[in-house]
Structure 1
Amino acid sequence: MAADAREHGIAIRPESEPIDTAEPVMVPVARRRWSWGGLFVAGLSGFLTLSIGVWAERTIVSLMNESPVLGYAALAFAGLAALALLVMLARVLRDILRERKVEALRLRATAALAGSSLTEAQAVAEDLGRLYASRADTARRRALLTDSLPQLFAARDVLTVAERSLLAPLDAQAQAQIAQAARRVSLVTAVSPRALIDVVFVLVACARLLRMIAGIYAGRPGTLGLIRLGRQVLGHLVVTGGIAAGDAVIQQVVGQGLAARLSAKLGEGVLNGLLTARIGLAALAVCRPLPFVEATPPTLGDVAGDLTSWRGAAEQGAS
């Protein structure tokens, strides 16, 4: 057949496989090592640190000249403040290192799956076990993973067993927290009398949800760690195009006559709950130390599907 095709001048080309658009393709973007904004923050921070140091030194010297007791008291308070600042900076550094370790694990696991590297997959599984070594509730599952690794000879099998052993229970906890937060936000914003209360409550609920999901997978972050996590979640939402709920979900919630039967406030509550659930799913994707190998990524219907049950209840009440 190939010879006949060449005789008739027909070129046969291999059919390309369709692109799977279910998962977004994330193209790494080269980051600049420095920026003018970063230099401004660094310079301003250094200037303020020197100013505070000079002011503190002059204050302590002045108090020493007036009364040694007051001077030593001021010196003790300054030392206590400096110690507290060092502890807070150490916690911030710990949170940043932990988040980077989780992100590095996920990238290494993705590369191991793409290259079918058994050695790298085993190293990722071992590092994942060490990540949860301080958790007593994972001791039995970590032991099972360690016993299973020598019996596995494929990278996907290794990561599948690691996911099944260590991350499946954590995924269930995270999804339960997202569903609970979505229901709470939906209910409170549906009955609250003021829009300002809605905004504040949604922001507080989302911040609390981010902290809880991060605590489930890699430890609770501090304030600066939470801000950094929030930036990563927003970046994930922008990349995946998931800032708003899909058209199908919105039609399921507010379509088919629901808007005519429910109050506008109740509809706002449902949409706020869906937005909270979407943010929770993005936080799960960011905080999870492995990509989804065997497990299916949770969808909006998995964590916020019960919000649509309000439609049935409202329709039954109206009829």
Structure 2
Amino acid sequence: MSKKQPIVIELDDAPKKSKRATPKTKAVTRDAPMSPADAPAIIDAPISGDAMQAVTQIATSRPSRLLRFFGWAAFTLLGLVISIAFWDFTSNLMARNIWLGRIALGLIAAMILACVLVVLRELGAMARLRKIDDLREKSEQIYAQGDLAAAKKHSEKIVTLLKGRDEIRWALVEYREHSDDQFDTASQMHFAENTLLLPLDQLAQKEIESAARQVATATAMIPLALADVVIALTANVRMIRRIAQVYGGRTGTFGAWRLMKAVATHLVATGAVAIGDDMIGSIAGGGVLSKLSRRFGEGVVNGALTARVGIAAMEVCRPMPFVALKRPTVTALMKNALTGFFGATR
């Protein structure tokens, strides 16, 4: 019994093989095994910190004139409608019962008084922020002019701004003891910065590390689309408010938003939104973590951008520029923030 031979059927439409074959090309058949070298390369998309980029765009965006006019008109109309409704309600109630009408009128007066007090508090907070801005600008002028008397007077204004703070009471005492030992402008300004602002800088850095850790954790753990943007915006506004309070500023609701816009404008003006030398370590850490999880990489980058916002807030809220003291870096802040996150202690 003979073995059956395979039957080969030739198709007329099959393309003819070329007589010239390139030696370097290798025919790959369906049965040939694929090697890892033949697989296409996987290109990772760069991690850019989308949440913090969105927060910066929200803070720096300014509505158009038409939108502002619409908001003013809508707010005025709403106030008019509420006023007329209160008037009709009080008039009808007084017509029905004089004592109930008087009680309602007293409650309306108390609400108006509370609104006036809130407005006055907001105006006072903005005035205090403007005072800090004036002190910082005056510090730059004193460094340029070299006036010792102006430097001592300026230092006394900073002492007045920080008076009554329990956490720096020892610093105020030390300043009072050695303020007369400075005999030139630079030494007087450096002494004031080292004595009065060094403990405040340390408190502000702790606030930045806490906010960066919160944003990094939220970005890594929460998979929702806009949740990381909302959390980053909330954490950054809270961080900026606390930094302003550390340096003697008082921020209300509108004052905090104004301060947020000032910090975002400072970031855009100085080009600090882009990746610089002080973020190379943080970005590298985010790239390493992104190999394990892209969300962790995004968290590190968003935390680093939050730290950069915090540094800009320190520069905006500080009554003196960084001259005698070194400005903190993003890498050092992120190192401390992530060290605290993983629970390591020195």
> Shorter-chain TM-score category?
0.7 to 0.9
Name 1:300's counterpart in structure 2.
Answer: 330
Cα distance, 1:123–1:49 mapped onto 2, change above 3 Å? farther
SS at match of 2:216: helix
Contact 1:178/1:277 (CA < 8 Å) preserved in 2? yes
Residue 288 in 1 paired to residue 314 in 2?
no
Cα distance, 1:287–1:251 mapped onto 2, change above 3 Å? closer
Cα distance, 1:42–1:194 mapped onto 2, change above 3 Å? closer
Between Structure 1 and Structure 2, the one with more helix by share is 1
Residue 167 in 1 paired to residue 197 in 2?
yes
Cα distance, 1:49–1:188 mapped onto 2, change above 3 Å? closer
- Letter in structure 1 aligned against 2:131: K
Deviation (angstroms), 1:50: 5.2
Runs of 5+ consecutive residues of structure 2 not aligned to the other structure: 1-64, 340-346
Cα distance, 1:263–1:145 mapped onto 2, change above 3 Å? same
Higher-Rg structure is: 2
278, 302, 327: which is aligned to 1:272?
302
Name 2:174's counterpart in structure 1.
Answer: 144
Name 1:216's counterpart in structure 2.
Answer: 246
Deviation (angstroms), 1:60: 1.7
Identity between Structure 1 and Structure 2 (%) = 36
Runs of 4+ in 1 over 6 A off after TM superposition: 35-44
Cα distance, 1:288–1:265 mapped onto 2, change above 3 Å? same
Q: How does 1:121-132 map to 2 (within 5 A)?
A: 121-132=151-162
Following the alignment from structure 1 to structure 2, what is the Cα–Cα distance between the partners of residues 258 and 218?
40
Deviation (angstroms), 1:41: 6.7
Name 2:206's counterpart in structure 1.
Answer: 176
- Letter in structure 1 aligned against 2:279: V
Name 1:158's counterpart in structure 2.
Answer: 188
Deviation (angstroms), 1:178: 0.9
Deviation (angstroms), 1:184: 2.4
Which one is further off, 249-258 or 110-119?
Answer: 249-258
Q: State the TM-score, normalized to the length of structure 2.
A: 0.71
Residue 111 in 1 paired to residue 148 in 2?
no
Runs of 5+ consecutive residues of structure 1 not aligned to the other structure: 1-34, 310-319
215, 233, 256: which is aligned to 2:263?
233
Deviation (angstroms), 1:219: 4.0
Contact 1:141/1:166 (CA < 8 Å) preserved in 2? yes
Deviation (angstroms), 1:39: 7.9
Following the alignment from structure 1 to structure 2, what is the Cα–Cα distance between the partners of residues 248 and 242?
10
Cα distance, 1:290–1:36 mapped onto 2, change above 3 Å? farther
Following the alignment from structure 1 to structure 2, what is the Cα–Cα distance between the partners of residues 307 and 95?
30
- Letter in structure 2 aligned against 1:268: E
- Figure out how many residues of one structure are paired with residues of the other and give that number: 276
Contact 1:178/1:209 (CA < 8 Å) preserved in 2? yes
**Which one scores higher on RCO, CA 8 angstroms, separation ≥ 6?**
2
